[in-house]
Structure 1
Amino acid sequence: MHIHNSDIARVFGEIADLLEIENGNPFQIRAYRNAARTVETLGPDIEDLLDEGRDLDELPGIGKDLAGKISEIVHGGGTCALREQLRGELPPEIEKLLRIPGLGPKRVKLLYDERGIHTPEQLLRAAQEGQLRTIRGLGEKAEQKILEAVQAQLSKTQRYSIATAAQIVEPLLAYLARHPAVIRVEAAGSFRRMKETVGDGDVVAASMRMAEVTAHFVAYGEVRRVISHGPTRASVELGELAMQVDLRVVEPASYGAAMHYFTGSKAHNIEVRTLALKRGLKINEYGVYAGEERIAGETEESVFASVGLPFIAPELRENRGEIEAAREGHLPVLVSVKQLKGDLHSHTRASDGRDALREMAEAARRRGLSYLGVTDHARHGGRSVDADALARQADEIDLLNEEMAGFTLLKGVEVDILEDGSLDLPDAVLARLDYAIASVHDWSGLTREQQTARIMRAMDHPSVAILGHPTGRLLFERSPNVLDIERVIRHAHDCGCALELDAQPMRLDLNDIHCRMAKDMGAMVVIDADAHKVEDFDDIRFGVGQGRRGWLEAGDVLNTRSLAQVRAFFRRKRRTH
């Protein structure tokens, strides 16, 4: 891949932007901006200059450090370590805000500091709700311009929840696998990395009769439009949502290399290719090459081994430290669905669930769980449970526990956190239950400090063992509440309250960054389906996928523990408050 001067300038410009958002050294920021302008307007091609052995620090405004960065970008596939480090220190989508016309780094920093906005979707919601006009230096006219700009930006791309993508991609994989010419076939891309939203689908197949496989692919009954069709690759739009899915077919000897290449992420792949270059190797979608000889590529393990690394799970491949952890032998042993022994958040028809208590219990047991927390809503308005309903439900739970050998229902409730941080059930009622989940459902317009303080006060309640879906977001619908999530996570650790990773595909809250933060701070996470009907228990895999992206291991997740250990956790929470 040829690296153009404009590519280098773009990297330097992004570094300057990210440094400015982080309140970096003004002289360093200015140096990168000046270097970007120098490189952009330079006549000779910099990659050609390097090939000729020219010293780049002879260029105006380019010292030895910047010259070294340019060389790193050219030989590192279009990026450098500083850029990826800065990306890793900020929310992963904040760079998308910088692409919105009218939003420079100063405004992005202002929006992040004042409202916690770090994605275009959050910005859109805030602008639609009139939250921007009250920020110093903006006002109503600026808010309207930002609204129009972010709407235009978001209209350029279509993304799907991971669950929606699964509904499209997984039947296609089953269809392809049935063809006799297909030896292996799997999803790759962001879907394999279990990102919470997916832009398009990537599928890799192994076959010696490649043209037959691509022909079978474009003949799939859900194909709405064939975008392209060749002997080894094809692209189509599927179903009413017109999700684009790209198929690449390779011979079996290249399958591992193709899976690594098309799984990504781009930043991860660049780092692996850089390691290969240092060993005199070249990696592409066909294999690992020493000169003209292919020395690896049949499996992903062989690709990693060629650069001295163990296998790295797809969910970790975001260039957020996984390469260094692999090199040092410190990769996490990621949590898996089969390690979950129970689920601590579910609803029945007693509140807003669809199915009866027995049906929910039997569904959980069929999925191999040994305990289920019943946590119907207690809240003002809507379908909910009061003290009398909880007492009746407790009696029903006792009867079911007597007859369901090897399976236990726990008595819980999902209680609302009120504006001042108090709970909407009396202490005497909460004390009769095994535990409570405290969740924010209202008063999203509070300030960052008010929101943080109310949540921390609720977590201090002796009956509250879990903070439910901590940021309150709904993907594509509702931005996260503005709060100091770092303080909340630290407080959860200090007060012995678990943080929920709600596996509902429209929530997936905590996100992966917050899961990693919780792990690093020693706070306990619980991965729950938040099931409102029996089918919802199947969504737990998306929560586990999110947890794996956040580097969570079994020891970081409360509901990988036995029933006795979970009960001890609840008792300990009550004793310490």
Structure 2
Amino acid sequence: MQNADIARTFNQLADLLEIQGANAFRVRAYRSAAQTIEGLSAAVSDMIERGEDLTTLGGIGKDLAEKIETLHHSGSLPALDEAGKQVPAGLIELTRIDSLGPKRVKALYDELGVDSLDALKQAAREQRISALSGFGRKTERKILEEADRLHQQAGRTRLDEARQAAEGLRHHIEQCAGVEQVVVAGSYRRRRETVGDLDMLVVAEDGERVMAHVGEWQEIERVALRGETKTTVHLNSGLQVDVRVVPGESFGAALYYFTGSQAHNVAVRKMAVARDLKLNEYGVFESDEQLAGRTEEEVLAQVELPWIPPELRENCGEIEAAQAGKLPELVTRDDIRGDLHMHTTATDGKASLEEMAEAGRRQGYNYIAITDHSQRLAMANGLDAARLREQLADIDELNERLKRFTVLKSIEVDILEDGQLDLPDEVLGELDLCVASIHSRFNLDRERQTERLLRAMDNPHVSLIAHPTGRIVNGRDGYELDMQRIVDGAAERGVCLEINAQPARLDLRDIHARMAKEAGVLIAISTDAHATDQLDHMVFGVDQARRGWLEKDDVLNTRTLPQLRKALKR
């Protein structure tokens, strides 16, 4: 099983147990294990095949390690099957609604018999939920909105989960004799935060051999269609994958066509028609003569366009920019010099201060910032002023031992409901940078939530607003904000905004990152890592930045340390 499948299984088990009222420590253990596995850059299945000890992973004891191995070998977990017998399967889906935790789901089931998403929506429309103690009309309306959102998101897979499947299958296909090239196209190649399915293109002489080889991959649940040059499979995770074998002379045209987006492709095809050309997945043709098709560059050259980075192909101005010679030189992972958001065991991280610093060095960085939580986040063991000062002293001592690498003093300070910060200015003034964020009262209206963030940015110590909209990919839309006012406010005050590279966040969205760029607001791409492996998530943040048209100079942490310190001065 993929890491995402194992993590999802443990989270489902935790939800079922919590609905049943099981021991809180047991529930927490499964959630912690899921978080650990989800954040790993290495595949747990590969670790098992190599005989590695899973108990070396944070939060994984002997019992959980045995359960992971059971999942790997059998594809199922007896503990989950047993828990599922006690609770209707539909209740798991209800826990994905942000307004509903397991306890509220249980109340809805016990009091109203709500056991599915459809039953929940019907109960909300009939205003039966608001009649229950602890809910109310506002909560009922929010539940209905989120239930509708879940229907819209159905069948879409988060980019990081799709990546595990895509890379695993790509590697499998490459082992097939005669395969020359394998590329994943579609929205995955455009690096959208979620994908509906995967499109894989293969250059090979023997299509039938490739199709047979694809069907042997262990992650396939069933083969839906198998032809001479195309196979459609459904993975254990539910993700659909279409694998096509294409001739080398058409590979560039097929790659361009299947990368999309549809709106971008339609616009470019119209340009071809205007030149009496036909552009499709087989190539560019004048009458019956193929003019191009082997590479994307030669395909686009036929309509007098340069190569356009896949992340920009959304028909949002990239064609006009290409025609004018003004395509951005997009930021790359190699441009990143440091990471400005991460956590240690001082709060809710799984690695020590020194371990996070060493992980940063392995990434090739010049600096990192340690941004543990502040005291308001009690569930994360947040730091008060005294404990923060102790950590600052530890950072000073560590920096004396490090060579050509710097740990910056910081904190992820909570923004309170009135826009004030969770720690006094006196201690915030001792930091190299102050990262501020919202972790509570997501339900404030648009005006109040916007003012809350703007008041936080008024504090002269605030350097950066982390995960500014609070959204969770395939989870919640985020709180209501006037993003234009937020971006303009950041520009006026000299405050930076963050693209949080956690695949579950990717916040800012791409459109907001582009909005910030146009306003001259610097963006930090940070991982919000809670373990050393999660520093690898930087690639997802860079992908998001590229979709937002960001160049190297638009990104705060592409700067050298002296340049960074200068940029942070308000």
Question: Structure 2 length normalisation: TM-score?
Answer: 0.74
**Aligned 8 A contact 1:192 1:314 in 2:** yes
Compared CA separation, residues 326 and 197, structure 1 to 2 (3 A): same
**Structure 1 counterpart of 2:437:** 439
Whether the 8 Å contact between 1:281 and 1:291 is mirrored in structure 2 is yes
Q: What is the deviation of 1:357? A: 0.8
Work out whether residues 208 and 252 of structure 1, in 8 Å CA contact, stay in contact via their aligned partners in 2. no
User: Which residue of 2 is the match for residue 561 of structure 1?
Assistant: 559
Q: What amino acid does structure 2 have at the position aligned with 1:430? A: L
Match of 2:320 among 317, 321, 324: 324
Give per-residue Cα distances to partners, 1:402-435, cap 9 Å, x unaligned.
2221111000000000011000101111011111
Residue of structure 1 equivalent to 2:446: 448
- Structure 2 counterparts to residues 210-359 of structure 1, below 5 A: 210-239=207-236, 241-359=237-355
SS at 1:288 equivalent: strand
Displacement of 1:150 in angstroms is 2.4
Q: Distance in 2 between the 1:553 and 1:430 partners? A: 31
Cα offset for 1:234? 0.6
Amino acid at match of 1:177: E
Residue 248 of structure 2 contacts residue 294 of structure 2 at CA under 8 Å; is this kept in 1?
Answer: yes
Tell me the percent identity.
47
1:120-199, aligned counterparts within 5 Å? 143=141, 150=148, 153-154=151-152, 157-199=154-196
Deviation at 1:213, TM superposition (A): 1.2
Q: Determine if contact 1:455/1:488 at 8 Å carries over to the other structure.
A: yes
Equivalent AA in structure 2 for residue 375 of structure 1: T
Q: SS at the partner of 1:225?
A: strand
Q: Is the 8 A contact 1:181 1:208 kept in 2?
A: yes
Question: Residue 443 of structure 2: SS of its match in structure 1?
Answer: coil
Structure 1 147/528 Cα, relative in aligned 2: closer, same or farther at 3 Å? closer
- Give the direction of change, closer, same or farther, for the CA distance of 1:255–1:438 in structure 2 (3 Å limit): same
* Structure 1 residues 298 and 396: alpha-carbon distance in aligned structure 2, compared to 1, 3 A threshold: same
Q: Deviations over 1:440-494 (max 9, x none)?
A: 1111121211111110111121111000100011122222110111100011011
Q: 1:473 aligns with which of 462, 471, 474?
A: 471
CA contact (8 A) 1:265 1:318 kept: yes
| Superposed CA offset, 1:191-231 (max 9, x none) | 11000011111111111212211111122111110010011
- 2:146 and 2:476 in contact (8 A); partners too: no
Per-residue CA shift, 1:127-165, capped at 9, x if unaligned? Answer: 89x9x99xxxxx89995996598279438x411111111
**Partners in 1 of 2:470 and 2:218 — Cα distance?**
38
Q: Distance in 2 between matches of 1:316 and 1:282?
A: 23
* Alignment-mate amino acid for residue 281 of structure 1: L
Deviates more, 1:366-375 or 1:473-482: 473-482
Q: In 2, distance between residues paired with 1:503 and 1:406? A: 25
Conservation of the 8 A alpha-carbon contact between 1:474 and 1:506: yes
State the alpha-carbon separation in 1 of the partners of residues 487 and 416 from structure 2: 19
Q: Tell me what 2:34 maps to.
A: none
Q: Could you tell me whether the CA contact under 8 Å between 1:162 and 1:196 is conserved in 2?
A: yes
Q: Distance in 1 between matches of 2:209 and 2:243?
A: 13
Q: Which residue of 2 aligns with 1:62?
A: none
Secondary structure of the structure 2 residue equivalent to 1:215? helix
Q: Cα distance, 1:512 vs. partner? A: 0.5
**Which of residues 457, 461, 465 in structure 1 aligns to 2:455?**
457
**Which residue in 2 is equivalent to 1:418?**
416
Counterpart for residue 206 of structure 2: 209
Q: Secondary structure at the match of 1:183?
A: strand
When residues 164 and 488 of structure 1 are mapped into structure 2, their CA distance, relative to the original with a 3 A threshold, is same
1:511, 1:492 → 2: CA distance? Answer: 16
Q: Name the aligned partner's letter for residue 508 of structure 1.
A: L
2:360 partner letter = A
Distance 1:533 1:266 in 2: 38
Task: Check whether the contact 1:340–1:560 (CA below 8 A) recurs between aligned residues.
Answer: yes
TM-score, length of structure 1 as denominator length? 0.73
Unaligned runs of 5+ in 1: 1-123, 134-138
- What runs of 5+ residues in structure 2 fail to find an aligned partner? 1-120, 131-136
